[in-house]
Amino acid sequence: QKEVEQNSGPLSVPEGAIASLNCTYSDRVSQSFFWYRQYSGKSPELIMSIYSNGDKEDGRFTAQLNKASQYVSLLIRDSQPSDSATYLCAVTLFNNNDMRFGAGTRLTVKP
Amino acid sequence: EPEVTQTPSHQVTQMGQEVILRCVPISNHLYFYWYRQILGQKVEFLVSFYNNEISEKSEIFDDQFSVERPDGSNFTLKIRSTKLEDSAMYFCASMVGRSQETQYFGPGTRLLVL
């Protein structure tokens, strides 16, 4: 059973549009949720973390968490070509801090 | 800004050889991790390390693998007898503590086993 699932994409949006990335997780005791961005050949770079239900905004990024439905999403407003990357959803379980990653969604923002 | 560093950036080795991948975590961090990413696949947890011992390990982290913190700054991953399927990008990460659960990743070591 997959622990963290994401649509692999590719997701293509025009510059200036909103990109919406989704993630579901299987373990109900999951505690902390993260979105990382990964450019090809590079290491994951933290975009957002979210721990409680609701929305969390940071600049052009908004993370949304719904623990009852076991999903977490990331919205990117005013998408830029530089946002083109693979976005990784990651989850840690209660009392653990080893992260489990989804396979990532590849986002392309077209100028 | 402090960052996690890893050496070497690339390593090519022959099957059956031992390799040691090195990491220098951020200096005030207490939790250390190794992950791997096979080309085109997801990032996979290998092991976490705290207070000089392994706290969690995945099913991937078998007897071929070991970790060590030989001094106050380095954190190493040793693969005793490399296999072709060990070819991957290996990422080290560190975290300050449970009060702030963000893991910061190093740039990775690309390991190629021939």
Closest partner CB to A100 (pick from B33, B41, B45): B45
Do the beta carbons of residue B50 and residue B32 sit within 8 Å? yes
- Cβ(A104)–Cβ(A86) below 8 Å: yes
Mutate to test the interface with B, among A43, A48, A95 (most CBs of B within 10 A): A43
Q: Do B45 and A32 touch (CB under 8 A)?
A: no
Nearest CA in chain B to A46: B104
Residues of B in contact with A88 (CB under 8 A): 42-43
Please check whether residue A40 touches B, CB under 8 A: no
Q: Which residues on adjacent β-strands are paired with residue A99?
A: A92
B107–A42 CB contact, under 8 Å: yes
Indicate the helix (H) or strand (E) that contains A69: none
Mean pLDDT of chain B: 93
CA B55 to chain A, closest CA, distance in angstroms equals 9
In the chain, the amino acid numbered B29 is H
Q: Residue B85 above 70 pLDDT? A: yes
The chain B residue lying nearest A51, using CA atoms, is B101
The predicted pLDDT at position A84 comes to 97
Residue B101's pLDDT band (boundaries 50, 70, 90)?
confident
Q: Which residue does chain B place closest to A31, by CA atoms?
A: B101
Amino acid at B74: N
Yes or no: say if A101 and B93 are a contact pair by the CB < 8 Å rule: no
* pLDDT above 90 (res B98): no
Minimum-distance CB partner of B106 among A43, A101, A102? A43
Amino acid found at B41? Q
* Model pLDDT for residues A34-60, shown as the tens digit of each residue: 999 999 999 999 999 999 999 999 999
pLDDT, one tens digit per residue, over B28-42 is 899 999 999 999 999
Q: What is the 3 state secondary structure string of chain B?
A: CCCCEEECCEEEECCCCCEEEEEECCCCCCEEEEEEECCCCCEEEEEEEECCEEEEECCCCCCCEEEECCCCCCEEEEECCCCHHHCEEEEEEEECECCECCCEECCCEEEEEC
Work out the percent of chain B whose per-residue pLDDT is above 90.
Answer: 81
In this structure, what token pair is assigned to residue A20? Answer: 């919406």
Considering CB atoms only, which of B41, B95, B105 is closest to A43? B105
pLDDT, residue B35, reads: 97
The answer to whether the beta carbons of residues A102 and A38 sit under 8 Å apart is no
